[in-house]
RNA sequence: GGGGUGUUAGUUAAGUUGGUUAUAACGCCGGCCUGUCACGCCGGAGGCCACGGGUUCGAGUCCCGUACACCCCGCCA
């Protein structure tokens, strides 16, 4: 009796588990995969075999092959097996929910490559297992089709970006991760240098300076799909290491960057969603965005604009409680008009005050407009004259039954609170149209922002961002009014990219450092290499970086970045699978010339 | 750094006013079953109620603290 052919050595995989159809009936096939499900009828045994492409039903019958049938009885979920058999019609018993539902494979040979312990959670499309448990066994979570689908889309987006940019003269060039720790901006992860006692590398928070140096070196167009590292507190849309599509171009201005990115976004939408988007994208100035939406990344898919009434309050005078005082102190008064009160109950509206406070508000004055234009349920009702109410109503286009939500005080707080309320209410009231995608550019950011904490101006983008030429004269005299040649790309209220035209003139760069309160010596010490580079013939240049993870999340679907990053960290930056970050021994620390300081109140030293 | 929610079997959840042996479903194990695809039927095992204190005759339940996860504010040039 001749030896049976062996799987892998003699019998190669002929098909994946997602492709067989009625057209394949009669073929002998070899499938490899995992046992998704088994239905054992004693006589015949059904197995759903799974690989990354899909599911195929395999049937084992004693009369077809007794040995395979007997072995099939021992199969359990997630066993890794090989099957050889004949593709057969299911006759009238098709499964319309499966792409391969017209056929099944009648097995003539079965081998178990590996058995599996019972998984800690089911390997199914829809599970409600705690994320904590899924992250601890991420390799099992990644077996599930929804995650595999996202990573396939992510692959396509990476491919599309490379193809698109390469086709337009961009070179994919690498930059170091281990760099000099840069002050300001995001906190760097530090890496102690064994060879240089007492010194540290910083992990690059972006390739910013190096891509500029590529421009100085004459590479003209650079791109990279690159990891960035930032040691800041995390959110659902922020991870300590994340990926950017980073690009930089020489001899260009803003419209050139916009055109390239608009084309790139069109490609990404195409491969991720099969959707065509229209370009150019609308442009909104930073000031317009703040005035109308309260944020610099407005979601324009719905209305609910903010409405400023500072001037009306000033004109109305002192009859009103609180408001005029806020205006006198240089504050602003803005409001959000909820048509028909948004259909919210009084209790729900009351609850908004707590929400507003969580966003930094001191309170949330509101007013419901009555039939005669009077204000009710409002602390402002008493002091507001009919004229004031009418003027406010007209400006806010408000009428009977509408509810006005007021904020007054410092613009930053007022805008922040109302801006966040606006998006929250839109979600809660279902105002966001399904399937709509709004892409837009926000431009003319301020070059500097005043930091109360630092008691000084700080760069709002980064210190290498070019000021608008007409503002250069004000750099030192009125830094607050200088606009930057910076731009953000916004998708549905999410910042998905940001960039700028850079400073290519060392004299301007020196002035910016001075405006930021960075002394020549300090600038020399920290960015000497860049200042030098700018003096040796730097071309005009600029670029942008797109947040790849966030893009995948928004285009492929996902609640958080953890759904689109294969091996993500928790909110505290830990990896529940590997246990990173972990403790290291004294010997390792000694070698690095580093000593760990025990945390106050910590349990004990396990060294 | 601050606010909020949660933690009960492998998984998801229930657990009343603090009171007998902590329930259910799915999964798991054993048996039966030749057309299932959420297969079905019979039987069984499985618990440090996150951890540490406290209140009480008695705590899964009440109080305090800790840990972990998630959401939000601050932070993210």
Residue nearest to nucleotide B66 (CA to C1'): A603
Does residue A496 form part of some domain? no
Mean residue pLDDT of chain A comes to 93
Which residues have C-beta within 8 Å of that of residue A21, sequence separation ≥ 6? Answer: A99, A100, A102, A103
- Residue A268 is predicted with a pLDDT of 98
Query: Is any atom of nucleic acid chain B found less than 7 Å from the CB of residue A93?
Result: yes
Q: Which of residues 314-373 of A touch strand B (CB under 7 A)?
A: 358-360
Query: Is any atom of nucleic acid chain B found less than 7 Å from the CB of residue A238?
Result: yes
Which CATH number characterizes residue A93's domain? 2.40.50.140
Task: Convert the pLDDT of each residue in A214-265 to its tens digit.
Answer: 999 999 999 999 999 999 999 999 999 999 999 999 999 999 999 999 999 9
Structurally, chain A folds into a number of domains equal to 2
Residue nearest to nucleotide B1 (CA to C1'): A233
Quote the distance between the C-alpha of residue A103 and its chain's center: 41
A93 CA: nearest nucleotide by C1' = B35
Task: Convert the pLDDT of each residue in A182-223 to its tens digit.
Answer: 777 899 999 999 999 999 999 999 999 999 999 999 999 999
Does residue A458 form part of some domain? no
Task: Convert the pLDDT of each residue in A164-190 to its tens digit.
Answer: 999 999 999 999 999 999 777 899 999
Q: Which of residues 498-557 of A touch strand B (CB under 7 A)?
A: none
Protein-proximal positions, strand B, CB < 7 A: 1-3, 10-13, 26-29, 32-40, 68-77
Task: Convert the pLDDT of each residue in A437-495 to its tens digit.
Answer: 999 999 999 999 988 777 888 999 999 999 999 999 999 999 999 999 999 999 999 99
Q: Say if residue A606's pLDDT is above 50.
A: no
A48 CA: nearest nucleotide by C1' = B37
Task: Convert the pLDDT of each residue in A42-59 to its tens digit.
Answer: 999 999 999 999 999 999
Region A137-156: mean pLDDT is 97
3-state secondary structure of A46: strand
Does residue A132 form part of some domain? no
Q: Is A293 left (phi over 0), alpha (psi -120 to 50) or beta?
A: alpha
Which CATH number characterizes residue A385's domain? 3.30.1360.30
Provide, in whole angstroms, the distance separating residue A22's CA from nucleotide B53's C1'.
67
Of A384, A406, A432, the residue at which a domain comes to its end is A432
Provide, in whole angstroms, the distance separating residue A347's CA from nucleotide B18's C1'.
33
Q: Within 10 Å of residue A217's Cβ, how many Cβ atoms?
A: 14
- Residue A77 is predicted with a pLDDT of 97
A128 CA: nearest nucleotide by C1' = B12
- Residue A607 is predicted with a pLDDT of 26
Does residue A82 form part of some domain? yes
3-state secondary structure of A584: coil
DSSP string, A201-257: EEE-S-SHHHHHHHHHTT--EEEEEEEEE--S--BTTB-SEEEEEEEEEES--HHHH
Does residue A197 form part of some domain? no
Does residue A460 form part of some domain? no
Provide, in whole angstroms, the distance separating residue A274's CA from nucleotide B35's C1'.
39
Of A392, A408, A432, the residue at which a domain comes to its end is A432
Q: Say if residue A122's pLDDT is above 90.
A: yes
Task: Convert the pLDDT of each residue in A62-121 to its tens digit.
Answer: 999 999 999 999 999 999 999 999 999 999 999 999 999 999 999 999 999 999 999 999
Of A412, A432, A452, the residue at which a domain comes to its end is A432
Q: What is the DSSP letter of A487?
A: E
In order of A31, A109, A185, the CA distances from A26 in angstroms are 15, 16, 65
User: Which among A136, A158, A268 is positioned nearest to A224, based on CA atoms?
Assistant: A158
Query: Is any atom of nucleic acid chain B found less than 7 Å from the CB of residue A56?
Result: no
Residue nearest to nucleotide B28 (CA to C1'): A118
Task: Convert the pLDDT of each residue in A347-384 to its tens digit.
Answer: 888 889 888 988 989 889 989 999 888 998 888 888 88
Does residue A522 form part of some domain? no
- Residue A17 is predicted with a pLDDT of 97
- Residues spanned by the domain of A101: 22-114
Confidence of residue A605 (pLDDT cuts 50, 70, 90): very low
pTM of the full structure: 0.94
Please tell me the distance from the alpha carbon of residue A285 to that of residue A289, in angstroms, as a whole number.
6
Does residue A160 form part of some domain? no
Q: Say if residue A319's pLDDT is above 80.
A: no
User: Which among A261, A267, A174 is positioned nearest to A224, based on CA atoms?
Assistant: A174
Quote the distance between the C-alpha of residue A443 and its chain's center: 21
Provide, in whole angstroms, the distance separating residue A562's CA from nucleotide B28's C1'.
30
Provide, in whole angstroms, the distance separating residue A77's CA from nucleotide B66's C1'.
39
């Amino acid at each position: 009796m001749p030896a049976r052919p062996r799987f892998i050595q003699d019998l190669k995989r002929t098909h994946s588990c997602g492709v067989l159809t009625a057209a394949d009936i009669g073929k002998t096939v070899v499938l490899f995969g995992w046992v998704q499900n088994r239905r054992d009828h004693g006589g015949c045994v059904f197995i759903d075999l799974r690989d990354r492409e899909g599911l195929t039903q395999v049937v084992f019958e004693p009369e077809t092959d007794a040995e395979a049938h007997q072995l099939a009885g021992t199969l359990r979920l997630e066993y890794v097996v090989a099957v050889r058999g004949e593709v057969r019609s299911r006759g009238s018993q098709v499964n319309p929910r499966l792409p391969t539902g017209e056929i099944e494979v009648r097995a003539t040979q079965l081998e178990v490559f590996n058995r599996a312990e019972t998984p800690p959670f089911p390997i199914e499309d829809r599970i409600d297992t705690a994320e904590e448990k899924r992250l601890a066994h991420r390799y099992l979570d990644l077996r599930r089709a929804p995650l595999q689908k996202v990573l396939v889309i992510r692959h396509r987006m990476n491919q599309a970006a490379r193809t698109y940019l390469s086709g337009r003269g961009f070179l994919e060039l690498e930059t170091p991760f281990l760099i000099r720790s840069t002050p300001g901006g995001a906190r760097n992860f530090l890496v102690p240098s064994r060879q240089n006692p007492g010194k540290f590398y910083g992990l690059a928070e972006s390739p910013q300076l190096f891509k500029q140096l590529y421009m100085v070196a004459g590479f003209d167009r650079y791109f990279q799909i690159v990891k960035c590292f930032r040691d800041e507190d995390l959110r659902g849309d922020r991870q300590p290491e994340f990926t950017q599509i980073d690009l930089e171009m020489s001899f260009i201005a803003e419209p050139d960057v916009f055109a390239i990115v608009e084309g790139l976004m069109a490609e990404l939408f195409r491969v991720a969603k099969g959707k065509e988007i229209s370009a150019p994208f609308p442009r909104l100035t930073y000031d317009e965005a703040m005035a109308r939406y309260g944020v610099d990344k407005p979601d324009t898919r719905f209305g609910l604009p903010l409405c400023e009434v500072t001037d009306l309050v000033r004109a109305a005078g002192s009859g009103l409680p609180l408001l005029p005082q806020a205006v006198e102190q240089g504050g602003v008064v803005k409001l959000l008009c909820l048509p028909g009160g948004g259909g919210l109950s009084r209790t729900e509206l009351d609850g908004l005050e707590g929400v507003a406070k969580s966003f930094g508000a001191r309170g949330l004055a509101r007013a419901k407009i009555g039939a005669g234009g009077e204000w009710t349920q409002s602390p402002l009702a008493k002091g507001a004259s009919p004229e004031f109410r009418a003027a406010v109503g007209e400006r806010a286009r408000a009428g009977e039954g509408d509810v006005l939500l007021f904020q007054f005080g410092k613009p930053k707080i007022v805008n922040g609170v109302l801006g966040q309320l606006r998006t929250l209410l839109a979600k809660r009231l279902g105002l966001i149209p399904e399937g709509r995608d709004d892409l837009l550019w926000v431009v003319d950011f301020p070059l500097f922002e005043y930091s109360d904490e630092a008691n000084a101006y700080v760069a709002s983008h980064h210190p290498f961002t070019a000021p608008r030429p007409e503002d250069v004269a004000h750099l030192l005299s009125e830094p607050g009014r200088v606009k930057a040649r910076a731009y953000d790309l916004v998708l549905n209220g999410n910042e998905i990219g940001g960039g700028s035209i850079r400073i290519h003139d060392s004299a301007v760069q020196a002035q910016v450092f001075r405006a930021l309160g960075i002394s020549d010596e300090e600038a020399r010490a920290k960015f000497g290499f860049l200042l030098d580079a700018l003096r040796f013939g730097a071309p005009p240049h600029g670029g942008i970086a797109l947040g790849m993870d966030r893009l995948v999340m928004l285009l492929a679907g996902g609640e958080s970045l953890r759904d689109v990053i294969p091996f993500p960290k928790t909110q505290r930056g830990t990896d529940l699978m590997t246990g990173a970050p972990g403790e290291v021994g004294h010997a390792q620390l000694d070698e690095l010339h580093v000593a760990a300081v025990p945390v106050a109140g910590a349990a004990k030293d396990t060294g």
